[in-house]
């Protein structure tokens, strides 16, 4: 196989004569002067690999991800200087002084690995630390500097209309934190971030965009993430929080590739990471391959893709139920591997009739997907308002409320003095009482 390759910048094009003399396995099809030219050529399917000298262009995780998305692997020539470039997941690092045969071999190995998907999906090719480049130049392969953690990620998602994604995400995270689990709560909603406001945190803390900015430059890890996350004390426990974008028009700051790195770092510092996701899954903008434009819903999609488990929250009324049905159908199209747990929130007799849980179950059997309903969370305006006013979680301000107990049960946190299901029993007595 002869691999068509592009180079970017003078330092990379200096390798061309040597590569040409080899007469395979790589052929340089174009020497690009500018990044835009390189990207256009990649997106038109001209090449399988690019060779870029570090420093020729601002190489970011988003750029690497975009090129990998177009099926093109990125080989970075490093000069072996002590500070070196930041490591970007998915790029191959090779010493600039390497001989042409070794460079060609590194390119073909990267392409083979990409094709075999042996190191995972796009964006996760093995990478090496260019600072380790020895004087005798050979292609560099090394283990990642920090092993990925095994923390689990739970995404909380749901259709538009305020079904209660943030309320569920925040309170589940708080329950786990108070029970002693190490938890990170991430607000990745690109339409209506609200975790910061709900916890009374300053806007300026905007932790997630800050983390994404650093991650986009490469070399992001759990230590960097722990520095950015804000610590919130919850009933003797510690909840780490990455607040979201401060205005909806800042959504381009949550680039999917960078967010992916942040989520991987999260696994290494928290046993459980709960991500409050935006609702929208539309992917139309991904069809425009001729642009490097960021994708507004890319952040949500990356979170859903990375999550080990997914909670889909729907409003328990005549608008919320059909919305959730449609949203789940869309989810099945876009993330076919997702197996969401369905949760109805703001469950109340006034919206769906007497015995609302039964009504919802019956409606779900008729219209909903096969997966059953995992939880019913009762409406409780007084409890959520009190917690919002105090900038904390329900377990602080309304510890005995049925809503709090139901969310603790959803998070599988045993609450002292309550039986499993006790919340539901009380709920039937009080909420479902027949109006006189």
Whether the link from the prior residue into 230 is cis, omega within 30° of 0, is no
Is residue 166 part of the contact set for Mg ion (CB under 5 A)? yes
Identity of the residue, 183 or 388, whose beta carbon is nearer to ligand ADP in the bound complex:
388
Quick one: what does residue 295 bind among ligand ADP, Mg ion, none, with the CB cut-off 5 to 8 Å set by partner type? none
335, 301 Cβ separation under 8 angstroms: yes
Q: Could you give the string, one character per residue 172-211, with x where binding to ligand ADP holds by CB under 6 A and - elsewhere?
A: --------------------x-x-----------------
* 399 φ, ψ (degrees, to nearest 5): -60, -25
Is residue 394 part of the contact set for ligand ADP (CB under 6 A)? no
Q: What does DSSP assign to residue 317?
A: S
Quick one: what does residue 269 bind among Mg ion, ligand ADP, none, with the CB cut-off 5 to 8 Å set by partner type? none
Is residue 403 part of the contact set for ligand ADP (CB under 6 A)? yes
In 15-32, which positions are buried (b, 16+ CB within 10 angstroms) versus exposed (e)? beeebeeeeebbebebbb
Distance CA 128, CA 93 (A): 6
CB of residue 388 vs ligand ADP: minimum separation in angstroms? 6
Is residue 377 part of the contact set for ligand ADP (CB under 6 A)? yes
Identity of the residue, 162 or 294, whose beta carbon is nearer to Mg ion in the bound complex:
162
Identity of the residue, 140 or 312, whose beta carbon is nearer to ligand ADP in the bound complex:
312
Is residue 7 part of the contact set for Mg ion (CB under 5 A)? no
The piece of 102-110, 163-171, 304-312, 366-374 that touches ligand ADP (CB under 6 A) is 163-171
* 179 φ, ψ (degrees, to nearest 5): -85, 0
**96 vs 47, 76, 354, 367, CA distance in Å?**
21, 8, 73, 60
50, 9 Cβ separation under 8 angstroms: no
Six token digits for residue 237: 């426990």
Quick one: what does residue 346 bind among Mg ion, ligand ADP, none, with the CB cut-off 5 to 8 Å set by partner type? ligand ADP
CB of residue 362 vs ligand ADP: minimum separation in angstroms? 21
Report the residue from 380, 397, 404, 431 that binds ligand ADP according to the rule CB under 6 A: 380
CB of residue 209 vs ligand ADP: minimum separation in angstroms? 18
Is residue 274 part of the contact set for ligand ADP (CB under 6 A)? no
Report the residue from 7, 43, 60, 166 that binds ligand ADP according to the rule CB under 6 A: 166
The piece of 72-80, 165-173, 329-337, 359-367 that touches Mg ion (CB under 5 A) is 165-173
Is residue 165 part of the contact set for ligand ADP (CB under 6 A)? yes
Is residue 78 part of the contact set for Mg ion (CB under 5 A)? no
279, 157 Cβ separation under 8 angstroms: yes
Taking the CB of residue 341, how many other CB atoms lie within 10 A of it?
17
Taking the CB of residue 132, how many other CB atoms lie within 10 A of it?
15
The piece of 258-266, 284-292, 376-384, 421-429 that touches ligand ADP (CB under 6 A) is 376-384
Taking the CB of residue 181, how many other CB atoms lie within 10 A of it?
16
Residue by residue, DSSP assigns 91-106 as EEEEETT--HHHHHHH
Helix, strand or coil, per DSSP, at residue 154:
strand
336, 369 Cβ separation under 8 angstroms: no
Contacts of 306 (CB under 8 A, 6+ apart): 153, 155, 260, 263, 264
Quick one: what does residue 218 bind among Mg ion, ligand ADP, none, with the CB cut-off 5 to 8 Å set by partner type? none
Is residue 154 part of the contact set for ligand ADP (CB under 6 A)? no
Helix, strand or coil, per DSSP, at residue 263:
helix
Question: Can you say whether the dihedral through the CA atoms of 65, 67, 70, 72 is positive or negative?
Answer: negative
Quick one: what does residue 164 bind among ligand ADP, Mg ion, none, with the CB cut-off 5 to 8 Å set by partner type? ligand ADP
Report the residue from 179, 257, 384, 408 that binds ligand ADP according to the rule CB under 6 A: 384
Question: Can you say whether the dihedral through the CA atoms of 117, 119, 121, 122 is positive or negative?
Answer: negative
Identity of the residue, 36 or 318, whose beta carbon is nearer to ligand ADP in the bound complex:
318
Total site size for Mg ion, rule CB under 5 A: 3
Taking the CB of residue 389, how many other CB atoms lie within 10 A of it?
10
Site residues (CB under 6 A) for ligand ADP?
A: 158, 162-167, 192, 194, 345-346, 377, 379-381, 384, 388, 403
Binding site for Mg ion (CB under 5 A): 165-166, 194
């Amino acid at each position: 196989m002869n691999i068509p390759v592009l180079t970017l910048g003078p330092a990379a094009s200096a390798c061309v004569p040597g590569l040409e003399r080899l007469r395979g396995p790589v052929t340089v099809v174009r020497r690009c002067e500018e990044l835009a030219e390189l990207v256009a050529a990649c997106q038109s399917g001209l090449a399988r690999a690019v060779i870029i000298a570090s420093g020729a262009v601002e190489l970011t995780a988003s750029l690497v991800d975009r090129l990998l998305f177009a099926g093109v692997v990125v080989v970075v020539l490093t000069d072996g200087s002590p500070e070196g470039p930041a490591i970007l997941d998915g790029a191959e690092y090779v010493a600039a002084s390497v001989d042409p045969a070794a460079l060609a071999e590194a390119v073909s190995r990267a392409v083979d690995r990409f094709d075999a998907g042996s190191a995972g999906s796009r964006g996760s090719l093995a990478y090496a630390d260019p600072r380790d480049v020895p004087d005798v130049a050979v292609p560099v392969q090394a283990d990642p500097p920090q092993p990925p953690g095994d923390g689990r990620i739970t995404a909380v998602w749901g259709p538009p209309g305020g079904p209660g994604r943030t309320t569920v995400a925040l309170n589940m995270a708080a329950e786990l934190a108070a029970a002693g689990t190490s938890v990170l709560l991430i607000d990745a909603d690109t339409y209506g971030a609200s975790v910061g406001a709900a916890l009374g945190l300053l806007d300026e803390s905007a932790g997630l965009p800050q983390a994404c900015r650093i991650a986009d430059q490469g070399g992001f890890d759990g230590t960097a993430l722990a520095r950015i996350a804000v610590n919130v004390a919850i009933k003797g426990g510690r909840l780490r929080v990455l607040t979201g974008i401060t205005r909806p028009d800042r959504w381009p700051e949550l680039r999917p590739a960078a967010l992916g790195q942040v989520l991987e770092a999260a696994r290494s510092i928290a046993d459980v990471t709960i991500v409050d996701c935006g609702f929208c899954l539309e992917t139309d903008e991904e069809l425009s391959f001729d642009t490097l434009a960021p994708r507004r819903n890319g952040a949500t999609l990356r979170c859903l893709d990375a999550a080990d488990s997914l909670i889909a929250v729907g409003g328990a009324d005549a608008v919320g139920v059909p919305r959730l049905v449609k949203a789940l159908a869309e989810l099945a199209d876009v993330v076919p591997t997702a197996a969401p747990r369905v949760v109805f929130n703001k469950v109340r007799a006034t919206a769906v009739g007497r015995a609302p849980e039964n009504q919802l179950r019956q409606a779900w059997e008729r219209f909903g997907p096969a997966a059953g309903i995992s939880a019913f969370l009762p409406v409780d305006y007084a409890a959520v308002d009190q917690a919002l006013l105090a900038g904390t979680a329900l377990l602080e301000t309304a510890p005995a409320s049925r809503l709090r107990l139901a969310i603790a049960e959803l998070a599988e946190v045993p609450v002292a003095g309550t039986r499993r299901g006790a919340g539901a029993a009380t709920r039937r007595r009080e909420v479902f009482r027949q109006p006189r």
